Amino acid sequence: MKTIAILTSGGDAPGMNAVIRSVVRTAIYNDLKVLAIKEGYNGLIKGDIETMTLSSVADIIHRGGTILRTARSDEFMTEEGINQALEVIKKFKIDAIVVLGGDGTLRGARELARRGVKVIGVPCTIDNDLGYTDYTIGFLTAVETAVSAISKLRDTSESHGRAIVLQVMGRNCGDIALYSGIAGGAESIVIPEVELNTDAIIKKIKNGRKRGKKHHIIVAAEGALDAYELARIIEEKGAIETRVTVLGYVQRGGVPTVQDRILASDFGYEAVNLLLSGKSGLALGYRSGKIIEVDIDEALETKKAFDKDQLKMVDILSI
Ligand code: F6P
């Protein structure tokens, strides 16, 4: 193996740059040539590729976003797009590719692996929605961002005696809502994995009011509900003024946390070492305190486990 390439695809996640740095430096240390593919699979189709050096990745470990830029490529999901990408791989003499991203990115990697391309997937998405790994890069940073918002919202909620619905990201997976809600001491957490129970939320608000509680924070994942509709129902049935805050894209940016940087460094290092030892078609993950590697197929098929007990705990702790 002489040349490896790296790309970032899908939604950006804080810590992607730390993975890029780790892959590039480990590869150069092992006398490999490293190519950067720009804007995800789109760059692979177009041949938008440049050589990386040790200094191309200087001063990026602490930066959010991705220096390689990213995209969600519809074209790559067509036979024509993939064939074009295979031509580019041949033209640039790419022996293996490390791809960084979420489930869509891993699906792209699986297509490449099925066509004989050596590929390693690194889970990078703020959503933490990949079932085979306990954590994806960027998730804990996004949670920190949401927790910091909750603390600020609690101040104003308390001062005005209002309820606040904070909508965080997560279309199919409620992990950002769950983790930030627990860490931020939210009264209620609404996630797509569990059916919305507005009566329970309203009962909680009313009980809290009875014993003089002034603030009430509801953290809701975007995939679980229409936050404005929930606020309307609370006002209607609960007779408490309610405001909505949609946190949005601030969750995707920012300085990666220590955990994200360390895991990112481990993943990048491991990705190159796996390729050097002749392994490919794998996705890296972190389970029960250890770095793991699983077949990309298995990574995509593993259902995300959900612990209902955690919601019960939230209910008890925020009584
Ligand atoms: O990166 C994951 C994610 O942030 C989801 O939580 C969110 O719904 C989605 O991406 C938004 O993606 P886009 O920026 O492509 O609209």
76-102 pLDDT tens trace: 999 999 999 999 999 999 999 999 999
Residues 6 or more apart in contact with residue 274 via CB below 8 angstroms: 120, 280, 282, 284, 293
Q: Is the CB of 2 under 6 A from ligand 1?
A: no
In this prediction the pTM is: 0.97
206-265 pLDDT tens trace: 999 999 999 999 999 999 999 999 999 999 998 799 999 999 999 999 999 999 999 999
Q: Is the CB of 101 under 6 A from ligand 1?
A: no
109-154 pLDDT tens trace: 999 999 999 999 999 999 999 999 999 999 999 999 999 999 999 9
Q: Give the residue, out of 171, 222, 249, 304, with the most ligand 1 atoms within 8 A of its beta carbon, to mutate for a pocket test.
A: 171
Distance CA 184, CA 197 (A): 21
CA distances from 319 to 6, 123, 164, 211, 241 (A): 48, 36, 17, 10, 20
Distance CA 185, CA 213 (A): 13
Residues 6 or more apart in contact with residue 84 via CB below 8 angstroms: 45
The catalytic residue among 12, 127, 175, 260 is 127
DSSP lists the bridge partners of residue 293 as: 284
Query: Is-catalytic flag, 127?
Result: yes
Q: What is the pLDDT of residue 101?
A: 98
Name which of 25, 23, 29 is nearest 8 in CA terms: 23
Ligand 1 atom closest to the CA of 13, numbered from 1: 1
Distance CA 198, CA 165 (A): 12
Helix (H) or strand (E) holding 18: helix 16-29
Is the CB of residue 161 less than 8 Å from the CB of residue 116? no
DSSP structure class, residue 123 = E
